[in-house]
Structure 1
Amino acid sequence: MLTSRISQSCRVTSQNVFRRFQSAQARLAESSIESMREENIFTEEHIALRQSLRKIIENEINPHVEQWENEKMFPAHRVMKILGSNGFLGVNKPVEYGGLGLDFSYSIAVAEELGNIDCGGIPMAIGVQTDMATPALARFGSDELRKHFLAPTISGDYVACLGVSEPGAGSDVANITTTAVKDGDDFIINGAKMWITSGTQADWMCLLANTGGEKAFFNKSLICLPLDTKGVDRTTKIEKIGMHSSDTAQVFFEDVRIPQKYLIGDEGQGFTYQMLQFQEERLFGVASVLLGLEKCIAYTIDYCRERKIFGKPILDNQVVHFRMAELATEIELLRSVLYRTVGKFLDGQDVTKRASMAKLKGGRLCREVSDSCLQYLGGSGFTHNPVSRTFRDGRLGSIGGGADEVMLSIICKYMGTLPGRKK
């Protein structure tokens, strides 16, 4: 009897925890919309797009997040089809392949709204579909290739993944060892890819492989690889400390034969194409964490206002409310850097340095905000709640898509401060 009452009490407490989080979420969504109105790169059309996406998130995604987190996988085809049918998987992709034909600022508006999803794994997988595996295909792929792979990815009929990292080459992209050797009209692919988001469910992979030549930056190509091809093994699912609802796999290739016409753009330009894709990936990643970090702060404020210690609310302690103000300021500054960078990107400027700065700061803020908020929740912070989930999910921000150290190296390169380089 006592055990039953305790179990019921725990379930009620858990429900209250996430109800408090959803209340904070609603307040912040409107605040985020007002921030967009203040920026000259956003219009009422951007806002309308976000509001439409929010309804889908509230009705089709968030009600199932707890189940998908527990199952360690969300149904990628089902979710992508819902988003694709409503135009959210090809916002800035060509109209002739099912996209909306809008500029990149609309993708950023969508990415920021995805922060309303109650976990990090699902926005990350959506970002792979829209801004990591498909930009090069949309920009450089042949008409035949885009009809075969891009169009069904935009519609949500295909799930896409990106194959760059390997067991022995993550941040060091130039040293990947997967090969695609010509044999008649085909490529024969051998090697392995690591940390592949949606790897167990994806229909095809945007694969970076060595296609010949001595120079590391000019011997790589991007290839569309159907994952049901003979010789592809993706049975090795990777368990992670966070991003639970997103499946991650190690994928092996043994004498995988595909047509050479599946090559994206020019042979030997894969490294360059991938570097271009990285910029969109990093900006997407920054945009997608903003609301989650703000929700962490809002949730913590509500909790610390209700929870008392030594006869007064925790929030009344200056160290607590000053810290919340400081973190909120940091997030708003990150949003400003993001919007400014997007503005320059739309003008055709090289934003590598600024995108790297934003990505660096975004990853570190994910750690800083969630760690501070978790601390102020005390023992509750070490239990299952939105803040501890953000703590687990957000830690990937300083690793995936280029580790902090890689971002610092890129920034140093542009500043001319690397050893042996002149400004």
Structure 2
Amino acid sequence: MRRARAALAAVLAGAGLIAGLAGCTAGGEAVFGGKPRSPQDAIRIVPGNGAKDIRAEDRIEVSVADGRLERVEVVRVEDADQQEVTGRISADGRSWRPDGGPLRLAAKYTVDAVAVDGRGRRSARHTSFTTVVPEHRFIGYFKPENRSTVGTGMIVSFSFNRPVADRAAVERAIKVTSQPPVEVAGHWFGAQRLDFRPRDHWRPGTRVGVDLRLRDVEAAPGVFGIQHKAVGFTVGRSQVSTVDAEKHTMVVRRDGRVLAKVPVSAGAPKSTTYNGKMVVTELYDVTRMDGRTVGFGGEYDIPDVPHAMRLTDSGTFLHGNYWAPPESFGSVNTSHGCIGLRDVKGGSPDTPGGWFFDRTLVGDVVEVVNSRDRKVAPDNGLGGWNMDWARWKAGSALR
């Protein structure tokens, strides 16, 4: 199939539930033990998913029409230090509200909730929203998360809330350095996205620092930055997996050595999988995939896809598959553009899907070869490794 943050925080991991926008498809919710329900019938979160320009005095509220909330976690992310928003679930279990205090301006928040309905069926939701940026100011939202451990293919990516006219001034104010040191260059994708990467994948064990000195930098006439902070991440072991769509196999290499050869099922002839190098950007234990959200009509709506790993913004996932005949893996391509691994309903660590998921980091590279599709675009997810070094550096405003 074609077309969601590292396995959600412990609050959801402890319940064994993950849900969010998913690809091959996209759906805001997964339901366990019954038919999928609309978000209005299950967990309701205010502000809505993807909401922008939320004011400091606006309230966060999580509620259910049926059953009770088990857990709620609200976190301010993409900051030098993540900060949890404390709150309480009401006595009847129907709602959660924060303890108090205004939201921080120019910030991004995530909300994760787990609920149980009156029939004992669990559901989970993951949403995010951003608060208003003061007039005549701009901010860059960035990945990966501060203090995270990532794969060697991680690209530092900034998305700005307003178009940047003076790209050189903004790029000059962001320093990406590493230990051991390597040359790192920026590349602009339009006026609101700036990515940084080295010539080749990071060396395992590298410590990467990102120094933002955007405060008072004029990005456009009369529009100034407000960020002044230092963040960083650590590069873990190297893992590069090569999917051969023609041979229906995936060879997993850890630190250059073959770890496993896994049978897969890639995109069917009418919905082929992109060729090229892709980077894992999000992991979900379980998510919903609905063909109506990516132009496939009612061809599928699977509420509990296990072990889903996002590869592109447009919705390519590598995920567990329990609904296809076991013999299809390694022999035929059947999906709507994603890469499927044999799995069981509910997911299991003993299946190929569970085995690979448990050994994957955000930042790991998956390369698809021998598919009858075009190469993935460099700005579709973290696809920048599909550019050679000369072309990448040509996209810098400092050249």
| TM-score past 0.5 threshold | no
Give the alignment's TM-score, normalised by structure 2. Answer: 0.29
The answer to which structure has the higher strand fraction is 2
Higher relative contact order (CA 8 A, sep 6+): 2
Larger radius of gyration: 1
Give the alignment's TM-score, normalised by structure 1. Answer: 0.28
